[in-house]
Amino acid sequence: MQKFAWWVVTALSLALLAIQVVPYGQSHENPRVRAEPPWGPGVRVLAVRDCFDCHSNETIWPWYSNIAPVSWLTQSDVDGGREHLNFSEWDWPQEDASEMVQVVENMKMPPWYYPARLSTVDRATLVRGLAGLIRCIGLSNVTAAQVAEAQAITDIVCVQNSYNLAYRHDDALIDDLARQGIAYVPFFPLGGFSPLQSSTLSSVAGRLGATPMQVALAWLLHRSSNILLIPGTSSVAHLRENLAAGQLTLSPQTLAELDGIAAAAAAVKH
Ligand code: HEC
């Protein structure tokens, strides 16, 4: 029996030694800090102590993060944590920032197996501080019903959906948002056009001495005062072209002609 126990201990020790050579979990990388949020007083200290190890590029790797298999867990926590929320990359949209307050309030973060736990006072300070970092909330890819659902919970400042001359499913939503003073950010200004629709757009553009993209953008700006454009831009020339679209005035006749693009498509479908 004793011999058996000896064998088990030896086998386990050898296995533990062997897994130390697995590269995963050993890199302990800290990428460059790009930008941090505008912390309120006393908030950063708490965030550094309780969140930074998994949600920043300033991870202090604990001693146990050098020993497999614990190192694998710490690596996956840091990778996963940074992916969801990274306080060192605040110049980049942080999709899960809106959940910060809730996870701390509900004591879901930091994970239970992590040594540092927040006292009640620290938790309240952190919750208040993190709430202060969320200035406004926008929604993307949503239906009118989902907008209403979100508005029942909190203020919404903008909605971003696919919308253009040819794809006008959000017409009613845009008018409704305009009445409420909420911005609408259309994406795919030239997406989903049929060849027929494109040729109408091209002929209008040709007449105005503009590109189809410029006309599509100008039409969006004419469509409603709450339209906010963020056209993709790949070069300075492209940027100038997009900006010039803002100067393009479309006459009522031209607008009617462009409105006909979607109307014609609807007529074909029905
Ligand atoms: C030990 C590492 C660790 C610490 C410390 C930690 N987190 Fe996390 N956090 C994670 C991981 C891992 C995830 C991704 C969880 C998942 O995939 O579901 C995460 C996810 C999140 C999310 C996204 C929402 C969610 O539920 O997926 C938020 C918000 C968050 N953490 C906030 C915080 C805040 C605020 C702190 C500090 C009080 C904190 N975390 C401390 C590891 C950590």
Q: Name the residue with the closest Cα to ligand 1, atom 9.
A: 81
pLDDT tens readout for residues 189-232: 888 788 878 889 999 999 999 999 999 999 999 999 999 998 88
Task: Mark whether 177 and 59 lie in a shared domain.
Answer: no
Distance 100 CA to ligand 1 centre (A): 8
- Please report the atom of ligand 1 found closest to the CA of residue 80: 12
Residue 32 clears pLDDT 80, i.e. is over it: yes
Query: Does 180 reside within a domain?
Result: yes
Distance 88 CA to ligand 1 centre (A): 14
The enclosing domain of 149 has a CATH number of 3.20.20.100
Task: Mark whether 142 and 258 lie in a shared domain.
Answer: yes
Average pLDDT estimate for 249-270: 82
Determine the pLDDT at residue 268. Answer: 62
How sure is the predictor about 266, in pLDDT bands with cuts at 50, 70 and 90?
low
Task: Mark whether 119 and 226 lie in a shared domain.
Answer: no
Task: Mark whether 129 and 143 lie in a shared domain.
Answer: no
Given 133, 164, 185, the domain boundary residue is 133
Q: Name the residue with the closest Cα to ligand 1, atom 20.
A: 81
Q: Is the CB of 170 under 6 A from ligand 1?
A: no
Most ligand 1 atoms within 8 A of CB, residue of 49, 104, 109, 118 to mutate: 109
Q: Is the CB of 77 under 6 A from ligand 1?
A: yes
pLDDT tens readout for residues 79-121: 999 999 999 999 888 878 888 988 888 888 888 887 667 888 8
Which domain does 146 fall in, by range?
138-269
Most ligand 1 atoms within 8 A of CB, residue of 54, 106, 121 to mutate: 54
- Residue 43 CA, chain-centre distance (Å), reads 23
Q: Is the CB of 186 under 6 A from ligand 1?
A: no
Given 101, 133, 165, the domain boundary residue is 133
Determine the pLDDT at residue 116. Answer: 64
Residue 267 clears pLDDT 70, i.e. is over it: no
Task: Mark whether 253 and 146 lie in a shared domain.
Answer: yes
Distance 155 CA to ligand 1 centre (A): 25
Domain count, the chain: 2
Task: Mark whether 128 and 167 lie in a shared domain.
Answer: no
Q: Name the residue with the closest Cα to ligand 1, atom 27.
A: 84
Given 93, 112, 133, the domain boundary residue is 133
Q: What does pTM read for this prediction?
A: 0.66
How sure is the predictor about 17, in pLDDT bands with cuts at 50, 70 and 90?
very high
- Please report the atom of ligand 1 found closest to the CA of residue 102: 29
- Please report the atom of ligand 1 found closest to the CA of residue 77: 12
Q: Name the residue with the closest Cα to ligand 1, atom 32.
A: 100
Query: Does 3 reside within a domain?
Result: no
